[in-house]
Copies of this chain bind each other. A is one copy, B any other.
Amino acid sequence: MLKQIRIVLVNTTHPGNIGAAARAMKNMGLADLVLVDPKRFPDPEASARSSRADDILEQARVVSALEDAVADCQLVIGTSARQRHLSWPLISPRQMAALVKENTEQQAISVALVFGREDRGLMNEELALCHYHVHIPTEESFSSLNVAAAVQVLAYELRVASMNEREIMQAGASAESSVTAGLANQWQSDWDTPWADGDNMERFFDHLEQTLRDIEFYKPEHSAQLMPKLRRLYQRSRLDQTELNILRGILTATQKASRHRAD
């Protein structure tokens, strides 16, 4: 999927933005960059801001018009501020990613994501070359995103959409599996130590109660809620075996150090 996606930057003024966009692309697994009539490129500032994503800058194609940049693309999506007049199919970044995933999975097509100028975005005639327009939600009063930041957001949505189930479990990023498994289970599923079983937990709670009596902290007649509260705390923490052993060790050391202990 990601190999079929091209990032197109139109009339970028600041080479630093081109470098930052290249870095964002490489971080998210995109590689195909096309620049439409950039003001300054190549430029040391672009290389500096790309921080070792130079390969993407070196392979970048420079063309004179947007038509040339998208000539071989079957799906062209332009980034746009919310439209006031001429309406066009306007989708969210998440819908864009789902649309691209669906299309690239089913056919060997090329997709172009088109980003406009720092100051004025894309012109109407450029937006008219797109099949869809994608809008990144922003604060009404401060809606102009940096172009590299816009590339970062859309490339991130594309990467999340491209991750297969195994990767998603590893990164803990699957909406579906989270809905079924729940947020807690997400990270609990790749915990590095085995979980304590119910039997060991009960022995721990017995040991805890005895120790609290030994140090004269727990007096059942005065604090009926104490043990239930501690049980709730340690149960929801889901102790692993190492943690349980540490807590048992602390209880034993507490009993040893206690003046008041039974024996």
Residues in B neighbouring A192, C-beta threshold 8 A: 86-87
Contact status A215-B135, CB under 8 Å:
no
A185: chain B residues at CB < 8 Å are 182-184
A interface residue count range (under 10 / 10 to 19 / 20 to 34 / 35 or more):
35 or more
- Taking a contact as CB atoms under 8 Å apart, the answer to whether A26 and B142 are in contact is yes
Query: Is A129's CB within 8 Å of the partner chain B?
Result: no
Interface of A is mostly: helix
Among A24, A153, A177, A239, which residue has the most Cβ atoms of chain B within 10 A? A153
**A109 part of interface (Cβ distance < 8 Å):** no
Chain A residues near B (Cβ < 8 Å): 20, 23-24, 26-29, 51-53, 82, 86-95, 98-99, 135-139, 142-146, 148-149, 152-153, 156, 159-160, 163, 167-168, 170-180, 182-187, 190-192, 212, 214-217, 226, 229-230, 233-234, 236-237, 239, 242-243, 246, 249-250, 253-254, 256-260
Q: Report the minimal beta-carbon distance from A217 to chain B, rounded to whole angstroms.
A: 4
Q: Are A179 and B177 in contact (CB under 8 A)?
A: no
Q: Which of these, B90, B145, B149, B180, contacts A187 with CB under 8 Å?
A: B90
CB-defined contacts of A143 to chain B, threshold 8 Å: 27
Evaluate contact between B135 and A172: CB separation under 8 angstroms. yes
Whether B94 contacts A177 by the Cβ 8 Å rule is yes
B217 touches A249 (CB 8 A): yes
